[in-house]
Amino acid sequence: MSSIALDPLLYHCAKAKHRFHHRPRFNMLKPCSFTYCPNKLLCHGRKTFVHYNSYRLPTFKATTTNAPTFQSTDVLFKETFPLKRNEKLEGRISVKLAQGKDHNKWELTVGCNLAGKWILHWGVSLIDDSGSEWDQPPKEMIPPGSITIKDYAIETPLKKSSSSSSGDVVHEVKIDLAPDKTIAAINFVLKDEETGIWYQHKGRDFKVPLLDYCGEDGNIVGAKKGLGLWPGALGQLSNLLVKTETNSKDQGSSSESGDTKEDKKSLEGFYEELPIVKEVAVDNSISVSVKKCPETTKYLLYLESDLPGDVVVHWGACRDDTRKWEIPAAPHPPETTVFKNKALRTLLQPKEGGKGCSGVFTIEEDFGGFLFVLKQNENSWLNYKGDDFYIPLSSSGNLPDQQRKSKLKDSGASKKSGEESEGVSVTAYTDGIIKEIRNLVTDISSQKTKKKKTKEAQENILQEIEKLAAEAYSIFRSSAPTFTEEIIEMPKPVEPPVRISSGTGSGFEILCQGFNWESHKSGRWYMELKEKAAELSSLGFTVLWLPPPTESVSPEGYMPKDLYNLNSRYGNIDELKDVVKTFHDVGIKVLGDAVLNHRCAHFKNQNGIWNIFGGRLNWDDRAVVSDDPHFQGRGNKSSGDNFHAAPNIDHSQDFVRNDIKEWLCWLRKEIGYDGWRLDFVRGFWGGYVKDYLDASEPYFAVGEYWDSLSYTYGEMDHNQDAHRQRIVDWINATNGTAGAFDVTTKGILHSALDRCEYWRLSDEKGKPPGVVGWWPSRAVTFIENHDTGSTQGHWRFPGGKEMQGYAYLLTHPGTPSVFYDHIFSHYKSEIAALISLRKRNKVNCRSVVKIVKAERDVYAATIDETVAVKIGPGNFEPPSGSSGWSLVIEGKDYKVWEVSK
């Protein structure tokens, strides 16, 4: 991660797409003028639900607001299902500037009246910075409890207060200001630490000017027409009126005769409120009761929910366990319409008192089940743990409660909803792609074919298999993807084949991060690391990750300047070549840390903005994205999130991409790098990464796609599907040519071990809950790196539990990464033993995990049926069977077994 990484809670990305498309519009949303970064918020506007042709039931009146009388002896099925949804809350951000008790000082107050853990991320603009860059404020301005963010910003938590005019509880922070002619403005954004969302003003940082000059910036707070005292670039800032007082009647002071009267400037106070919309998790439920009508022998279903507003049931029936959607015969409830001859949609009727809604449905007796999902508006669909709700009818309704729940939970991914594309079977389409992959596998495994094909041809076929898998993953993923690599039933040979691709390496790689946050301070890190090459090779590492090699504004290397200048704080270019050659001699591949998202400029433009580059790549401001508010770029809009400390490079420009490809190829040839660790890839589209990797042909590549996990009121959610989906989407955008650091697994391990909640280590489908559970061959797992640990400590792994983390990483699929500080510590012998076991049992990035136990105090799993692992203080022993288990490694709260040979 780059040098100004803030903390593990970063930007919040958009939700995964829902499975249903081409729907009639209900309750359309209207845009709100306030935005947050990176996604624009919408506030609800309401429209009346369109009423369609309806049918009436002969037995019950659908307009009744009372539930049908179901005697307990008549009920075949009764269940209440939890519904989890997001609701948008509207509130306000307040900004107030007023004189303090000391009339020579002023006070800036920023508040928010929505619940949350709010953080003010702020800094100042100095006059000679032309208002485009942030700086640290003077120490006397910084409120108690603040945290310094590098050398450019402050983070201050907002505290609860009841000082608002309406009397409601608000969160606010106060900043003391003394008149200072060097400070032009205060800039800030508001961050909700629970969700990781950053709130901005009209897509830009909030700006409160402290000096008066003309300008029309849309992000100004408390704007007033200025007097134009500050010309030029400073004219872009405008907000507060600086008054020149010609008399000596200052508040709280008496005039002194005989003194020379000097012009005094004072700020003018203001109070401004801005709208804010926040998404919060809300728990609701729906209850379903089933009985059989003795007169008609049909099934009667009563649905009742506490969901607010208009709720539409998208429903159908099925005859057997294939769960194929069909439309039951009329009569149907009122407010029902047919959807594409595949399903029905019914508007539930409001209950008495307006709290909740309900509906009654009739199903013929020859159907075996009732299928449905719920719709609240155009973009809000609710289902059951990623699948359609399935209500068993007939004898299945008499199953014991526990067995019935198990059947619901185990509903497979092959079920068809009534909204599939017309004339296309998902199963048939899936089978077609799988058949294609199997044909390629058969082709390459055939002895006769092998004799005819060259090695190059075989590698081409392997690459094609990887691409087909990535394509299938993209086509069939949903908000809860059901496709995993294990679906591709490739023959498992006794000796797993060595398959080289840039996304996986050989599949058996073990990565060492070869530096920490302080490594640059010696000035000769390359030479120090060179001395450890033989030892790292003997420990079993196959790949080494070196720090950024280029000249950099920051000593750690993550603010690159001249990309072709390889004289850094870690050593010079000759020492870099030497250390790479030394590791090659001991059989270790070497990755270069490539910072492609941003670059520090050499010169200012005519407005005093640093966006003109020098050196061999002497780009101008066309190479900078146009929507970064700090650097006045003339390129296209960014394809990702901005990194505000340096100009964000516009990768859509042909000359930029060509120069970067040429530079990467030069590094491969000149230095001997075997691959790349790519910094801050969230800042630009993964398709550009594919372009760079196709050109430079690395042995191995991994991207750092880091953003916030999902939290509810400060507690990590069990379901992190949305988070790992965003990482998987980026990998897929690269066409699988790069892996990605499995931040999801890092976060879940962190929480599980820290809070003794080992149940978190299994998702709802019984698989590992991180990227390693969905696309293991592209997951690079880790527990610590130079940002999270070392002297930075932004998200340090729970102390004393590091070896539990490595017991998990080094026995599970994915490509494990071990942090330098942990290797050369008292953990060395235990890490070495785990690496040896991994190699001995040929555990690789595609190994198969079977989770045996995931409870409060213990997690246990078997891998490839040859390795068993237990972490946590709880008890577990692998089951005895035809193959005996031998305990080979044991440490504090972890054990590892292997099958006795």
pLDDT tens digits along 792-833: 777 889 989 999 999 999 999 999 999 999 999 999 999 999
Per-residue pLDDT for 115 more than 80? yes
Q: Kindly report which listed range (143-147, 409-413, 509-513, 555-559) carries the lowest average pLDDT score.
A: 409-413
Instruction: Give residue 422's pLDDT band: very low, low, confident or very high (50, 70, 90).
Output: very low
Euclidean distance between CA atoms 810 and 781, whole angstroms: 9
Cβ(561)–Cβ(611) under 8 Å?
Answer: no
Cβ(121)–Cβ(270) under 8 Å?
Answer: no
Identify the residue with better confidence: 295 or 539. Answer: 539
Residue ranges of alpha helices (H) inside 671-720 are 686-696
Farthest CA pair distance, the chain: 109
Q: How far is Cα of residue 172 from the mean position of the Cα atoms in its chain?
A: 28
Residue 99's DSSP bridge partners are 106
The confidence score (pLDDT) of residue 456 equals 61
Annotated catalytic residue 704: yes
Instruction: Give residue 437's pLDDT band: very low, low, confident or very high (50, 70, 90).
Output: low
The confidence score (pLDDT) of residue 100 equals 79
Identify the residue with better confidence: 131 or 90. Answer: 90
The confidence score (pLDDT) of residue 822 equals 94
Instruction: Give residue 197's pLDDT band: very low, low, confident or very high (50, 70, 90).
Output: confident
The helix/strand/coil state of 467 is helix
Spell out the residues 6+ positions from residue 421 whose beta carbon is closer than 8 angstroms to its own.
none
DSSP state of 49: P
Each residue's pLDDT tens digit, 135-174: 888 888 999 989 887 777 889 999 987 654 555 778 999 9
The helix/strand/coil state of 131 is coil
Euclidean distance between CA atoms 559 and 555, whole angstroms: 8
Segment 603-608 shows an average pLDDT of 91
Spell out the residues 6+ positions from residue 658 whose beta carbon is closer than 8 angstroms to its own.
none
pLDDT > 90 in the chain, percent: 47
The confidence score (pLDDT) of residue 849 equals 96
C-alpha angle 480-484-487 in degrees, rounded to nearest 5:
130
Work out the mean pLDDT of the chain and round it to a whole number.
78
DSSP state of 398: G
Q: Secondary structure of 817-854 in the HEC alphabet?
A: EEEHHHHCCCCHHHHHHHHHHHHHCCCCCCCCEEEEEE
Catalytic residue among 304, 387, 679, 707: 679
The confidence score (pLDDT) of residue 217 equals 60
Instruction: Give residue 352's pLDDT band: very low, low, confident or very high (50, 70, 90).
Output: confident
The confidence score (pLDDT) of residue 553 equals 92
Annotated catalytic residue 621: no
Q: How far is Cα of residue 102 from the mean position of the Cα atoms in its chain?
A: 46
Identify the residue with better confidence: 669 or 168. Answer: 669
C-alpha angle 562-705-850 in degrees, rounded to nearest 5:
145
Each residue's pLDDT tens digit, 824-883: 999 999 999 999 999 999 999 999 999 999 999 999 999 999 999 999 999 999 887 656
Identify the residue with better confidence: 143 or 489. Answer: 143
Identify the residue with better confidence: 706 or 3. Answer: 706
Instruction: Give residue 133's pLDDT band: very low, low, confident or very high (50, 70, 90).
Output: low
Name the helix (H) or strand (E) containing 538: helix 533-539
Each residue's pLDDT tens digit, 724-778: 999 999 999 999 999 999 999 999 999 999 999 999 999 999 999 999 999 999 9
Segment 694-700 shows an average pLDDT of 95
Each residue's pLDDT tens digit, 438-487: 666 565 555 444 444 465 666 666 666 665 665 555 554 433 343 333 33
The helix/strand/coil state of 100 is coil
Identify the residue with better confidence: 334 or 454. Answer: 334
Size of the chain in residues: 901
Identify the residue with better confidence: 786 or 477. Answer: 786
Per-residue pLDDT for 427 more than 70? no
Each residue's pLDDT tens digit, 384-413: 877 889 999 865 444 434 344 444 444 333
The confidence score (pLDDT) of residue 55 equals 34
The confidence score (pLDDT) of residue 162 equals 60
Catalytic residue among 387, 388, 562, 704: 704
The confidence score (pLDDT) of residue 360 equals 93
Per-residue pLDDT for 63 more than 50? no
Identify the residue with better confidence: 224 or 708. Answer: 708
Each residue's pLDDT tens digit, 231-265: 333 333 333 333 333 333 334 433 333 343 333 34
Q: Which pTM value belongs to this model?
A: 0.51
Each residue's pLDDT tens digit, 20-43: 333 333 333 333 333 333 333 323
The confidence score (pLDDT) of residue 201 equals 76
Spell out the residues 6+ positions from residue 122 whose beta carbon is closer than 8 angstroms to its own.
137, 153, 154, 155, 156, 175, 186, 187, 188, 189
Per-residue pLDDT for 560 more than 60? yes
